[in-house]
Structure 1
Amino acid sequence: MELRHLRYFKALADSLSFTKAASRVHVTQSTLSHQIRQLEDELGQQLFDRIGKKVVTTEAGELFLAFATRALKEVDYGIAMLKPTGSGLTGKVRIGATHTFNIGLIPECVAHFLAKHPTVQVRVEELAADQIAAKLHAGELDLGISYRPIGPTPLWFEPLYNEEMVLVVSASHPLAGRRRIRMVELHQQRLVLLPEYFATRTLLDDCFKASGAEPVVVAEMSTIAPMLGLVLRMQIAAIAAINAVPPEMTGLRMIPIESPTPIRTPGILWRTEGEKAAAVQSFAVIVRKTALGNSLRQAGPA
């Protein structure tokens, strides 16, 4: 099936006249009749009844018309958006993101997106993962940027990449000179971590348990920035993703963790039902490209 088959079918279904439809799509009546017959053969269904000089759609033709109309509308809209003379995307993109992604990824993506589509309105909310899921499910957000949910969810999670978490200490910390550290070596180490209701904390607790380590959690904070501020002021360590540590925050050392290495998977959260607006899909494309580029830079040369 080719796109022209759909256009010929739509023209005939709208006009119910081979003469008018052929004129509309700029082909001869014989060509139009031949193409419609090809489409009917491929579908295995008769789409039109030819009664004398009259043409009427069959039940199958009426059913197929709705789908063909929607497909052509989407294709034509996409073509218009790609043309230099196109009016550009419009509408609104509503994004929910956790704190970690609001530090660098989201501002970078929004800047690229608005430079390309200045007429689209972007709204970003910084929310906890469970709040993002709830607002997506309620239709109050178009997409979420978070980590892979733990447990079943009615949402669809699109993974972007895997990221390792690292131990973050100040330059004066006794572990600052280490190139790597095993999880078991964090036994009785003084740490500041996210509270227990965060999925990331659950991941870390599982890693501690697997290695037999029991760190001393002296403080819990719900965002990364104050955790890192505390690390700079005390002989205390934190565990965070590399991209959560701002490059301008000097005086910190990041140490890879192994045996086991805590790994999180950032991604895009989507509702499973409903159509995605063109502006939302365009923003998602930028998120994918930016996230991939960031992950490659973090990995460094092979």
Structure 2
Amino acid sequence: MIDAVDRTGRPMELRHLRYFVALAEHLSFTRAARQTHITQSTLSHQIRQLEDQVGQRLFDRVGKRVFLTEAGQNLLPRVLRALGELDEGLRALSPQDQVLTGWLRIAATHTFNVNLVPACLTEFLTRNPSMRVVVEELAASVIEERLLTGALDLGISYRPDHQQDLAFEPLYDEPLDLVLSPDHRWATRKWVRMAELHHQPVVLLSPEFTTRRLLDECFRQCGAVPHLVAEMNTIGPILGLVRRMNIVAILSRQAVPEDGTLLSVPLETPTPMRSPGVLLRRNEVLPPHVASFLHTLRRACDKASPPPRRL
């Protein structure tokens, strides 16, 4: 089955892309071969064929360990998106007058429940008025647990550190911004360097969050030691503190309310970057209503990838 063409215009096989995704998800030839029902040697040969066609190595092999190269990391979200669209298209060949009914159970971390989820639900429920939706705001670890138990249909979060039974599809690359009040002295800046936060008062997420560990590493890289006024485990109180005090926070711009009470300013040198995505149970055939909402979510992220900065 033909899916695309390579850099020379030659046709690429759909199976090559599915093998690539399986190996990228498992980072193990043994587990990827088991999932795709082929031998390890066949999988290795198919991956080499794909690398020859694209003209770049997609995986580094160090002993028995497998790593995605930068080229592989860049290719993966695009292949996932393409395969997802194809699978949805095949499901859409069923009768077009099918009415979606029932309950959709989704959960997201606070960042995505502020703007992204309401926007997607508005479109989804307008198109499917018979659907009913349950939305929960949960920590990433709880989202993972509830997906595995079947209590959720879909999660919106970040890539799990150690969870082989969940599939993760990146939606876009998300820079973290400096969040401040309109009367802060940096409110009119076009950007702020991370090093400028040295000894500056900040409020950050607690150390158990992956985002906080990412920020600590960015501070280490630029040699900055901020004056940590407070650590909090939810975003609402962080935003409330920034409104009331002359301090700043570092959050996704998705978390910034659209009422103008807070602003976001880009950070540079380095720019903290994360990749939000969808969490699903691995190898599960999606019911039509879940596939429909996922399509809405993908299109919303395509339109705002990355979401516009508020300067």
- 1:145 pairs, out of 156, 166, 169, with 156
| Structure 1 position 267 matched with structure 2 position 277 | yes
Residue matched to 1:180: 191
Question: Shift of the alpha carbon at 1:278?
Answer: 0.9
- 1:258 pairs, out of 254, 268, 292, with 268
Question: Shift of the alpha carbon at 1:206?
Answer: 1.3
Question: Shift of the alpha carbon at 1:80?
Answer: 4.4
1:62-141 mapped onto 2 (5 Å cutoff): 78-82=92-96, 86-141=97-152
- 1:166 pairs, out of 177, 181, 200, with 177
Mapped contact 1:150–1:199 kept (Cα < 8 A): no
Mapped contact 1:98–1:145 kept (Cα < 8 A): yes
Residue matched to 1:298: 308
Mapped contact 1:81–1:88 kept (Cα < 8 A): no
Task: Return the alpha-carbon distance in structure 1 between the equivalents of residues 134 and 238 of structure 2.
Answer: 27
Bigger-Rg structure (1/2): 1
Residue matched to 2:207: 196
Mapped contact 2:172–2:306 kept (Cα < 8 A): no
Task: Return the alpha-carbon distance in structure 2 between the equivalents of residues 212 and 296 of structure 1.
Answer: 28
Q: Which runs of 5 or more residues in structure 1 are unaligned?
A: 2-73
The code of the aligned residue for 2:113 comes to N
Would the alpha carbon gap of residues 146 and 79 (structure 1) be closer, same or farther in structure 2, given more than 3 Å must change? same
Task: Return the alpha-carbon distance in structure 2 between the equivalents of residues 87 and 152 of structure 1.
Answer: 35
Mapped contact 2:266–2:309 kept (Cα < 8 A): no
Aligned length: 224
Task: Return the alpha-carbon distance in structure 1 between the equivalents of residues 89 and 196 of structure 2.
Answer: 57
Q: Which runs of 5 or more residues in structure 2 are unaligned?
A: 2-87
Would the alpha carbon gap of residues 151 and 184 (structure 1) be closer, same or farther in structure 2, given more than 3 Å must change? farther
Q: What TM-score do the two structures reach when normalised by structure 1?
A: 0.68
Q: Is the deviation greater in 150-159 or in 107-116?
A: 150-159
The code of the aligned residue for 1:128 comes to A
Question: Shift of the alpha carbon at 1:76?
Answer: 10
Question: Shift of the alpha carbon at 1:120?
Answer: 2.1
Task: Return the alpha-carbon distance in structure 2 between the equivalents of residues 260 and 149 of structure 1.
Answer: 23
1:36-55 mapped onto 2 (5 Å cutoff): none
Task: Return the alpha-carbon distance in structure 2 between the equivalents of residues 121 and 260 of structure 1.
Answer: 43
Would the alpha carbon gap of residues 239 and 77 (structure 1) be closer, same or farther in structure 2, given more than 3 Å must change? closer
Question: Shift of the alpha carbon at 1:78?
Answer: 3.9
RMSD across aligned positions (CA): 2.3
- 1:230 pairs, out of 231, 236, 241, with 241
Q: What TM-score do the two structures reach when normalised by structure 2?
A: 0.66
